[in-house]
């Protein structure tokens, strides 16, 4: 548990990926990674938020995060959206 959190933080630094909640309305971003537990990760994937997916942030500021993903409007609670790390999509992928 602990080690994955550390890794997660390290990952955040190295990839300049920021939580979804830190992007303003209208940003187009690419999902990079998650800091969430396995269950939540499975859920996010099932909803189409796999790493590499292009999403558009449709709401800014605090509160639940509204996204446009694969043709649908999705709402992520703030807690969860904080744990989804994304890069602005004009940056080249860092795989």
Q: Residues in the site for other proteins, rule: CB under 8 A?
A: 4, 7, 11, 15, 33-34, 36, 38-48, 50-53, 62-64, 66, 70-80, 95
Residue 23 or 49: the one with the smaller Cβ distance to other proteins is 49
Cα distance between residue 80 and residue 47, in whole Å: 13
Q: What's the start-to-end Cα distance of the chain, in Å?
A: 24
Residue 75 or 88: the one with the smaller Cβ distance to other proteins is 75
Quote the least distance from Cβ 66 to other proteins, whole Å.
7
């Amino acid at each position: 548990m602990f080690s994955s959190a550390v890794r997660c933080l390290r990952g955040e630094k190295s990839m300049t990926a920021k939580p979804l909640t830190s992007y303003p309305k209208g940003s187009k971003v690419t999902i990079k990674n998650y800091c969430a537990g396995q269950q939540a990760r499975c859920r996010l994937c099932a909803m189409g938020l796999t790493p590499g997916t292009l999403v558009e942030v449709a709401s800014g500021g605090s509160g639940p995060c509204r996204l446009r993903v694969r043709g649908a409007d999705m709402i992520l609670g703030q807690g969860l959206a904080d744990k989804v790390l994304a890069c602005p999509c004009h940056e080249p992928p860092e795989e």
